[in-house]
């Protein structure tokens, strides 16, 4: 597999891969995420190509203190062939080349298979709570069918 930056004509192929891997969410437009990641030097979308098609990808970036990985995907038909591991190695190399001292990622708590994959690569669960605030008008709790209203004791 050859890994390098995503090219303009490959965006739809990567979005389709992310959709096959169930990585997209209604409240995040993957094309917007790709455009933002490709718009500056602090992030990149990497694509793994095999026999002329994209079989793996990842979004990697830095906030100046730590590296972050998002949208790690490996073609579901080619899993357990080292594609995800190779993509993570490429993300780690990207971060190291920029002098980033550590790399992190987020996984939904119930996604035990993915958590196991990252633990096998040496990643550890941190005692951190992730908080967020949206500026784009999208509400991820409502978009996912969850009630986002605060619980107020009566």
What secondary structure letter does DSSP report for 6? P
Domains, the chain, ordered by start: 2-139 (3.40.630.30)
Instruction: Show Cβ contacts of residue 133 under 8 Å, excluding neighbours closer than 6 positions.
Output: none
Write out residues in the chain with pLDDT < 50, as ranges.
143-154
Q: Note whether 148 and 141 are within 8 A (CB).
A: yes
The pLDDT value given to residue 140:
60
Instruction: Show Cβ contacts of residue 19 under 8 Å, excluding neighbours closer than 6 positions.
Output: 30
Q: Note whether 21 and 84 are within 8 A (CB).
A: no
Q: Note whether 63 and 69 are within 8 A (CB).
A: no
The pLDDT value given to residue 109:
86
Instruction: Show Cβ contacts of residue 26 under 8 Å, excluding neighbours closer than 6 positions.
Output: 143, 144
Which of these, 73, 37, 70, 38, lies nearest to 55 by C-alpha position? 73
The pLDDT value given to residue 131:
84
The pLDDT value given to residue 142:
52
Percent of the chain with pLDDT over 70: 89
Render pLDDT for 37-57 as a digit per residue (tens, 0 to 9): 999 999 999 999 999 999 999
Residue with tokens 């080619």: 78
What secondary structure letter does DSSP report for 127? S
Quote the CA–CA distance of 75 and 54 in Å, as a whole number. Answer: 8
């Amino acid at each position: 597999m050859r890994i390098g930056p995503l090219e303009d004509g490959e965006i739809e192929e990567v979005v389709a891969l992310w959709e096959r891997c169930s990585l997209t969410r209604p409240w995040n437009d993957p094309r917007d995420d790709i455009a933002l990641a490709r718009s500056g030097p602090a992030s990149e979308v990497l694509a793994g190509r095999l026999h002329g098609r994209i079989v793996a990808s990842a979004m990697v970036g830095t906030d100046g203190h730590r590296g972050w990985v998002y949208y790690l995907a490996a073609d579901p038909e080619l899993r357990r062939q080292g594609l995800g591991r190779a993509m993570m190695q490429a993300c780690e190399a990207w971060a190291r080349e920029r002098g980033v001292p550590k790399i992190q990622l987020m996984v939904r708590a119930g996604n035990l298979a993915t958590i196991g994959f990252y633990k096998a690569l040496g990643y550890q669960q941190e005692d951190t709570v992730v908080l967020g605030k949206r500026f784009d008008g999208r509400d991820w709790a409502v978009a996912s069918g969850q009630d986002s209203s605060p619980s107020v004791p009566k």
